[in-house]
Structure 1
Amino acid sequence: MSGFLDNCRWPRCECADFGEKRNFIVSVISGVMFFTGWWFVIDAAALYPDTERFNHAFQTPGVISTVAFFMINSVSNGQIRGEAYTTGCMGQTGARIWLFLGFLLAFGALIAASWILFGFYVVGNVDPDWPGIAVFLQNALIFFSAFVFKFGRTEDLWG
């Protein structure tokens, strides 16, 4: 089952051939998304310092999402495919388990952020909705920045 997408290639777009600058562009886009996500929560925490409108425990999914970002991007794609120079502690299986746990944490943080948004701010009728929206946007942007940084830099997708 592993490697069933190895022969699938994305269609080549001649209008957007970035060549050597693609890794730089993807890194900048991912960094801006990561920064913007944290900026939203810092803004919400600065605007609503009291715990009635913004409970500061709601920042926990953002921290978990940040840890997941580093877990996802600490494993190279060569280690996932088994093409790495060194096998490491557990080899290809360990790298895949580590990546899977990183994605589990990222999805869990995104689900927790949506639960905070809808459970406390939409259904709970808390007056300002911005803290809930900020927590959700933070986790969504960190999740998508991890996805962009992980898969946007590989040459295999574009053949």
Structure 2
Amino acid sequence: MSHSQLFDNERQRVCLIPIPTLPHLTEKKREAGVYISGGLFAIGWWFFIDAVVYSNHLKGNDNTVPVMNFEDWICGILSTFGMIIINLINKSNLTSGNFYGSYGYGESNMYARLFLFVGFAALAGGLAGSFTILILKYIVIETPHTYFGIALIIQNLSIMFSTFILWIAQSADDESGYRHYL
């Protein structure tokens, strides 16, 4: 085997350790990824809505309980907006052969990468905002109700993981085509 043939074979491999395929999971991998992503998204919003309802319930009995206001909603809305942006991007525009793509000067490719950046920035901003609200609103004031801030972090982390899982599940064009490289 010549050096160039060896190099071509190594370039085709994605993983040096062969990973066994599970026959029942490979057929439904994309569908399972979409369901897991939706479940994570629902769990995140469930924690947030639970915290909102719980804070309003406690507010009726005690005036020292911080009510979850609009600033608490912004983080989840921003993360959800980032998830929508990221998963609406046509992935073929990101993986073209050159930076400029095949359309003129590559406006399609450039815009896809720009929107991907904006989507990830929205996800990161939502997560950073949830940590900031936890620290400034629920820890610095030393309220015993830190659950509200923790629910924000759980919400934004689950939306972020949901986005990644959905991205991976939708990016797999042909599951059987990837078996050759694993």
- Structure 2 length normalisation: TM-score? 0.73
| 73, 76, 79: which one aligns with 2:90 | 76
Q: Kindly indicate whether the alpha-carbon contact (under 8 Å) linking 2:134 and 2:149 is maintained by their aligned counterparts in 1.
A: yes
- Secondary structure of the 2:27 match is helix
Cα shift at 1:122: 1.9
Cα shift at 1:151: 2.0
Alignment correspondent of 1:54? 67
Q: Please state if 1:112 is matched with 2:125.
A: no
Q: Please state if 1:139 is matched with 2:156.
A: yes
- Secondary structure of the 1:29 match is helix
Instruction: Work out the percentage of aligned pairs sharing the same amino acid.
Output: 26
Q: Kindly indicate whether the alpha-carbon contact (under 8 Å) linking 1:65 and 1:142 is maintained by their aligned counterparts in 2.
A: yes
- Structure 1 length normalisation: TM-score? 0.83
Task: Give structure 1 stretches of 5+ with no counterpart.
Answer: 1-5
CA distance in 1, matches of 2:119, 2:13: 24
Task: Write the mapping of 1:60-99 to structure 2, written as runs, cut at 5 A.
Answer: 60-82=74-96, 90-99=107-116
Q: Kindly indicate whether the alpha-carbon contact (under 8 Å) linking 1:22 and 1:153 is maintained by their aligned counterparts in 2.
A: no
Cα shift at 1:55: 2.6
What amino acid is aligned across from residue 132 of structure 1 in structure 2?
G
Q: CA RMSD in A?
A: 2.6
What amino acid is aligned across from residue 63 of structure 1 in structure 2?
I
The total of aligned residue pairs comes to 151
Alignment correspondent of 1:13? 19
What amino acid is aligned across from residue 39 of structure 1 in structure 2?
W
Cα shift at 1:8: 7.2
> Which one has a bigger Cα radius of gyration?
2
Q: 1:143 to 1:60 in 2, by over 3 A?
A: same
